[in-house]
């Protein structure tokens, strides 16, 4: 399995935006793609677009904050074909400053962007560690480098994703389930990795490989 050509990919937050673009970029002949999101109609459309590119694809509406549902879904996907790449992409943002429903928005953002990532990574990492193979990408943001006054919850959530991903990556051997935190809109990180360019197309970063 090459990360630039994984045969089994799971993506959360895949009904639109970056998640959809990544699904289409990885879709190819013989690739199995598992998608989750909040809108079944949009997911079905993305899955069909992936099939048109030669992939087998299925979408499922799942709340990423539901740890049990996420664990079941990831286990089912992994049993069909061992997952080569899992992308924890699902996330939301909203203004939380000076609003009557600011506290409610804050809790929801942290639940989706933090708990949702944890609920994606932990079951996937357990499966990959067991077979000593597979990679995980966590989608962070440049907002995670500095707190934004109108999006403090979003900044905090992405700082957590970045720091957690970095910590997990450092403690894992290269041959194990590797974890790569990525930032948007343009990001690269060392080793054999995803490289998210301005057009969101994943590929191998030139000149940096790891056995």
The Cβ of residue 90 has, within 10 Å, a number of other Cβ atoms equal to 26
Q: How far is CA 52 from CA 56, 57, 92, 164, in A?
A: 9, 10, 29, 36
Query: What's the Cα-to-Cα distance from 68 to each of 14, 90, 188, rounded to whole Å?
Result: 20, 17, 32
Contact 129, 177 (CB under 8 A): yes
* Pairing of β 85-88 and β 8-11: parallel
Q: Which residues are catalytic?
A: 154
Residue 144 contacts residue 164 (beta carbons within 8 Å): no
């Amino acid at each position: 399995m090459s990360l630039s050509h994984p045969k089994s990919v799971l993506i959360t937050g895949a009904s639109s935006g970056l998640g959809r673009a990544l699904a289409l970029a990885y879709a190819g002949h013989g690739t199995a793609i598992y998608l989750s999101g909040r809108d079944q109609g949009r997911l079905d459309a993305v899955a069909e677009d992936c099939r048109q590119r030669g992939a087998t694809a299925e979408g499922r509406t799942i709340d990423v904050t539901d740890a049990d549902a996420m664990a079941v879904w990831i286990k089912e996907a992994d049993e069909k074909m061992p997952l080569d790449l899992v992308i924890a992409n699902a996330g939301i943002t909203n203004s939380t400053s000076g609003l009557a429903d600011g506290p409610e928005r804050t809790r929801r953002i942290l639940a989706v962007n933090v708990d949702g990532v944890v609920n994606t990574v932990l079951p996937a990492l357990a499966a990959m560690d067991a077979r000593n193979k597979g990679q995980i990408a966590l989608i962070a943001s440049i907002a995670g480098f500095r707190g934004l006054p109108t999006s403090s919850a979003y900044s905090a959530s992405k700082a957590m994703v970045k720091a957690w991903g970095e910590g997990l990556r450092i403690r894992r051997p290269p041959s194990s389930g590797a974890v790569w935190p990525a930032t948007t809109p343009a990001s690269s990180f060392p080793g054999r990795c995803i490289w998210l360019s301005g057009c969101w197309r994943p590929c191998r970063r030139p000149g940096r490989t790891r056995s």
